Structure 1
Amino acid sequence: MRGCRSFGDRRGLPFDYETSVHIIRYEPVWFPDHSFRISRHLQVIQRENRPVPRTKLARSGVCETVSAGHPPPKSHYKIAVVGTGIAGMSATWLLNQGHDVTVYEKEPRIGGHSNTVEASLSSEKLPVDTGFIVYNERNYPNLTALFAHLGVDTDASDMSFAASVDGGGLEYSGSDINGLIGQRTNVLRPRFWRMVRDLLHFYKNAPAFLNEPDDGMSLGDYLDRHGYSDAFISDHLLPIGAAIWSTSALEMRAYPAKAFIRFFVSHGLFELVDRPQWRTVTGGSRRYVEKLTESYRDRIRFDAAVKVLRHPDHVEIHDSRGQVDRFDAVVLASHADESLRLLGDADDRERALLGPWRYTKNRAVLHSDTSLMPKRRNIWSSWNFLEDSRDQADAPICVTYWMNRLQSLPSSKQFFVTLNPNHEPQSDSILYETEYEHPFFDTAALKTQSRLWSLQGHRRTWYCGSYFGYGFHEDALQSGLAAAEQLGGLRRPWQVADENGRIHVTTIERAAAE
């Protein structure tokens, strides 16, 4: 059935609506102007064969409507957006085209993980990204469309991976056979060949596991149950997973097996050929941040930590300067755990869905110290996993990004960004450091994902962030755009296949014709 037919119930109680196919559960979601929309729960409750009256669509994509005694929705809202990562920036960018938006950012800068630093050594000044670095067109369709719409230039990049484990006792890169045996003594090690054997076995057989019933098995249990060697687990799979999700190798064992394998399948990581071409923003990610925020830069309040209080007819934002402002709705474009802390009046439903989320803190250092790269120069890759000892699986992930290679920096000086250095870079080599937080996707958190969208519009509050998906830029962007579309009645100015395919979005429609 296209759209929905909406009936009012001022008590806000859920109700059933019979169609000629089945009964679908609907739940009213109240909006700033006392109109409401309907959250459609897609579970089929009971099949029926009853004819239903048909009404004319108010317009394509908007509900078929039966008056509920409420005034038509106003077309202009006063909205607060908290956070300026890609989720908050994109939500604001779209909402700003039809509504009055104020943005709160607790930091003195905008962009979240899109953080470009001017690296200066002698007379050189180069824009180096320290958080978000690369994307590809296959897995980042909305980001690709956004860059095209904004006129953001990009360059081809390289996403090779290397591992240096046991203090450099074993080193290899995955670029080709020469990289794999770049440390020539590898060919004499039975442990190395066990790793290679199980790597080929895992890449061939793991995708079939997606067809089996989901019992919530962790990655560690999957690997143990299928008899994979410690050489493969400790020297390859956990390092590459830890590098992708910026978490410890030990915590990667708790990652749900199906989610891990599904990510590898969707990103072409099981393919030895025809992998997607990765790209980076020319001049650093700051270039897209500047263009995305150009239309509302004067409405961003910096250094403004907030507390959110909801009322039946408005939302109050209390900022760290003591200022209190009223809004029709608020969009929390912050981490799940932070969003929960910002709510001064969180209810059981919000705590149940946001409470399970945990985040890993990672120190990021921009430097020029080559000691935080593999010992053998021929092993150097774009991503370099470093481990002092195999007994330190619970240590924070240490991975070095070779920025000259990733961003094609025109410099003879080498620039690196290392997450959680396992030893301190030389002090005179450090150019910048900061801290980033990344969501930790354990079973408890992932169980909430399919229900997170049910919070949208609940008590005048909307949510977006990378935790709605896999934790990456495209996930945050999809959630920001989808939340803005449903709250503001607007539409992103492009069409891509499966535009919300990385997140769980349920239908929320206007309940009154415009």
Structure 2
Amino acid sequence: MAVIGSGVSGMSAAYLLQKKYDVTVFEAGDRLGGHVDTRPSATGRPVDQAFMVFSRTYYPTLTRLLGELDVQTHPADLSTDVVCTSCGFRHLHDDPLGSQNPPPHPESVDPHTWARFNDDHARFVPQLLQALEQSPEKTLGEFFRDNDYSDYFTLHYVFARLTGWLLADVENMPIQFLVNTLARYGFTGGPDAFASWHVIPEGARTYIERIAGTLTSINLATPIRTVARSGEGIDLHDTAGNHHRFDKAVIAVHAPEALAMLANPTAADRAILGAFKYETLQTVLHTDGSALPHHDGDSAIFMQVSCAKPRRSAVSFHAALNKLRNQPSQTPCYVTYNPVTAIDPKHVLARTHYQHPSATPESCQAQERLPELSDNVLAFAGTYHGDGFHEAGCHSGITAATTLGAPWA
């Protein structure tokens, strides 16, 4: 049995498949894990640079997997501050959409703009739910334009939060996908919205390493060039020219990569896998607190925007890892996504980029057809099978293993 890709989807599939088959994992990179990227830090403790937190309530598949692997977790601090470096807007809150405590009026914002902000804030959720019933395929950007929401409100209240939490271009996201995702993870708000969220104190690589220890074989730095059905099995060719023969396989890589691997893609393969697009997330692991819009220790997460910059490029996301992980230290450590302010190179520990699936009308339609691609010989997995979160990846891996004859007992 071959598993191509060692992110959450591939390793979740491998975990179940190894209970019934010999499993060989092929990974193009020099490490296992994909978005599970645990790094050493200046504090002496490991920190996670990409996948950082999960919910024991809203991630049932991953929670079960971590439990079976005896991976310890503890509560995360997800207190959040939205800060505009141009107008002085600041909103400290403890629920995802900040609906429990309205933001204060920034002194530099004129009364008319602020009155419109408050009006938009009051009608946003009721109108969004109404649109969900009437035109669920409409994108969030279309919804804002049709209902004449102010740019000030959409930047400071909606895009600042949702771009950070969903790590995606929410402007072009269908309303139905957006609302379902927010509801699925408890992001619709409330005073206890963050209560179930946890971190893995020894780093998320802990669960990857425990799965890896059970597998028959792991081939790092072995990109697969082609995957072909042959008789009743699967033929793999790697980029070094080596041939590998297996009875069954899971392709657990990003959709464009999966399509490129197929030696003889069908029209359905092209139509479905070709519908998924990805966004690049630039991340910097560092110790430069001055790069944050406020570094007074009040929050674990900062969503940074600027009135002076275009909407999409203006949103940056900072995580104060010591506070988020409830691990106090004299040496602060941060992860910044899509930095828009300079970070002192002397304080940079690592720079990395990740690919995250975009949710578009085309990808949402393609998701409905994904089950057509898998059978009892070749199965597909990846976070693109769901909403792009770790739980979606884990669930897709378990589904792929089940399709290949190794259900979770």
TM-score by length of 1: 0.73
Contact 2:236 2:243 (C-alpha < 8 Å) held by counterparts: yes
> Which residue among 202, 208, 215 is the counterpart of 1:283?
202
Task: Report which structure shows greater RCO (CA 8 Å, sep ≥6).
Answer: 2
Question: 1:144 deviation in Å?
Answer: 1.2
Alpha-carbon distance in structure 2 between the residues aligned to 1:177 and 1:357? 32
Alpha-carbon distance in structure 1 between the residues aligned to 2:203 and 2:114? 38
Q: Counterpart in 1 of 2:150?
A: 229
Structure 2 stretches lacking a partner, 5+ long: none
Letter in 2 for 1:80: A
Q: Counterpart in 1 of 2:381?
A: 464
Alpha-carbon distance in structure 2 between the residues aligned to 1:433 and 1:156? 27
Question: 1:263 deviation in Å?
Answer: 1.9
Question: 1:344 deviation in Å?
Answer: 2.5
Instruction: Note the 1:15-414 alignment, pairs <5 A.
Output: 79-120=1-42, 124-167=43-86, 169-175=88-94, 181=103, 185=107, 189-212=111-134, 214=136, 216-247=137-168, 251-277=169-195, 278-296=197-215, 299-307=217-225, 308-375=227-294, 377=296, 380-395=298-313, 397-414=315-332
Contact 1:388 1:422 (C-alpha < 8 Å) held by counterparts: no
Query: SS at 1:126's partner residue?
Result: coil
Q: Counterpart in 1 of 2:363?
A: 445
Alpha-carbon distance in structure 2 between the residues aligned to 1:192 and 1:372? 28
Cα distance change of structure 1 residues 183 and 366 upon mapping to structure 2, 3 Å threshold: farther
Query: SS at 1:241's partner residue?
Result: helix
Q: Counterpart in 2 of 1:18?
A: none
Cα distance change of structure 1 residues 178 and 335 upon mapping to structure 2, 3 Å threshold: closer
Greater shift in the superposed pair: 468-477 or 383-392: 383-392
Cα distance change of structure 1 residues 262 and 153 upon mapping to structure 2, 3 Å threshold: same
Letter in 2 for 1:436: Y
Query: SS at 1:377's partner residue?
Result: coil
Q: Does 1:484 align with 2:401?
A: yes
Query: SS at 2:39's partner residue?
Result: strand
Q: Counterpart in 2 of 1:426?
A: 344
Query: SS at 2:371's partner residue?
Result: helix
Letter in 2 for 1:291: R
Question: 1:376 deviation in Å?
Answer: 6.3
Letter in 1 for 2:212: T
Letter in 1 for 2:133: N
Contact 1:129 1:285 (C-alpha < 8 Å) held by counterparts: yes
Alpha-carbon distance in structure 2 between the residues aligned to 1:288 and 1:410? 24
Alpha-carbon distance in structure 2 between the residues aligned to 1:91 and 1:397? 35
What value does the CA root-mean-square deviation take over the aligned residues?
2.4
Question: 1:188 deviation in Å?
Answer: 7.2
Alpha-carbon distance in structure 1 between the residues aligned to 2:343 and 2:85? 19
TM-score by length of 2: 0.91
Contact 1:117 1:127 (C-alpha < 8 Å) held by counterparts: yes
Contact 2:77 2:326 (C-alpha < 8 Å) held by counterparts: no
Query: SS at 1:337's partner residue?
Result: helix
Contact 2:132 2:176 (C-alpha < 8 Å) held by counterparts: yes
**Share of identical aligned residues, percent?**
28
Query: SS at 1:273's partner residue?
Result: coil
Cα distance change of structure 1 residues 313 and 130 upon mapping to structure 2, 3 Å threshold: same
User: CA-to-partner distance for each residue in 1:5-33, whole Å, 9 max, x for gaps?
Assistant: xxxxxxxxxxxxxxxxxxxxxxxxxxxxx
Which protein is bigger by CA-based radius of gyration? 1
Question: 1:167 deviation in Å?
Answer: 3.7
Contact 1:154 1:282 (C-alpha < 8 Å) held by counterparts: yes
Question: 1:205 deviation in Å?
Answer: 4.5
Greater shift in the superposed pair: 266-275 or 351-360: 266-275
Query: SS at 1:163's partner residue?
Result: strand
Letter in 2 for 1:238: F
Question: 1:187 deviation in Å?
Answer: 8.7
Cα distance change of structure 1 residues 172 and 191 upon mapping to structure 2, 3 Å threshold: farther
Query: SS at 2:270's partner residue?
Result: helix
Question: 1:192 deviation in Å?
Answer: 3.9
Alpha-carbon distance in structure 2 between the residues aligned to 1:320 and 1:225? 50
Runs of 4+ in 1 over 4 A off after TM superposition: 176-184, 186-190
Contact 1:119 1:431 (C-alpha < 8 Å) held by counterparts: yes
Letter in 1 for 2:139: S
Query: SS at 2:123's partner residue?
Result: helix
Query: SS at 2:44's partner residue?
Result: strand
Letter in 2 for 1:220: G
Alpha-carbon distance in structure 1 between the residues aligned to 2:104 and 2:138? 35
Query: SS at 1:268's partner residue?
Result: coil
Alpha-carbon distance in structure 1 between the residues aligned to 2:403 and 2:90? 50
Contact 2:88 2:106 (C-alpha < 8 Å) held by counterparts: no
